Amino acid sequence: MKLGDTLKAAGVEWTVRPFTAAEHQLFDETAEPYDLERKAAQLQAMTSARGGTAREALLKADQKRIQSRLAAFTSEDGGLREDLTDEERLTAYEVALELDMLTEKLEALREERTVDALLLEEELAQAREAVVIAFMHQVLGVKAPLPVFTAALTPDEIASLDDVVMLGKLRLGLSASTRRQQAAFTRTLALMQSQQASGGNASGSRQQPPAAPRKPGGSGRSKKSSSRSKAGS
């Protein structure tokens, strides 16, 4: 989507143009109740926290400690050592059970964090979609009520509305950060394609190396043979 393109949404056509100052203010007023920037920042912070929570860190430390205890009862192949007594074997199973319980807790925390991130991502997507549709409903001057306009939109049309808002550089969450990431990805992709293209052309137009020059030894041998023939005559 670029300036001058024709946008079609729910039967309404609109030529893509820069938004006016009044429309920028209208968008801010429409988006204010949804707190898009905070939701986007929370989602980014949650997804970038690769180390996990403090509880996960403690469970990982306990996990390593118990694994060290369990290693004293196991052989190199991971099974119990054959020289263990019945009491030691029982202790090994108790340690293994403790390790399993810690692992389950750790996996549950990781799953909880993933679910929270997915829910927040969906909440942000729904909020952005609602703001974009409500804003463009007013910009397009649609006569139908907002719920009717929303119901008539197809997924492609909703994506086109979002593209128009992004093109206008309206503050849709962390829009500036998103644009920088998209620009960096586009530049990286273009660079990779350029390198692949130049590599292919270089291999296709690669010239054969020039023939090696004749060694002087060959001409020397011919001179010697000619002098010998003269001496024999």
Cβ neighbors of 1 (< 8 A, separation 6 or more) are: 7, 16, 160, 163, 164, 167
Contact predicate 174/124, CB 8 Å: no
Instruction: Grade residue 91 by pLDDT with cuts at 50, 70 and 90.
Output: very high
Longest dimension (CA), the chain: 119
At position 181, the amino acid (one-letter code) is Q
46-82 confidence digits (pLDDT tens): 877 666 778 888 888 999 999 999 999 998 888 899 8
The pTM of the whole model exceeds 0.85: no
| 164, 27, 183, 120: CA torsion to nearest 10 | -110
Most confident region among 46-55, 82-91, 187-196 by mean pLDDT: 82-91
Query: Could you read off the pLDDT of 124-171 as tens digits, one per residue?
Result: 999 999 999 999 999 999 999 999 999 999 999 999 999 999 888 887
How many whole angstroms separate alpha carbon 123 and alpha carbon 149?
A: 21
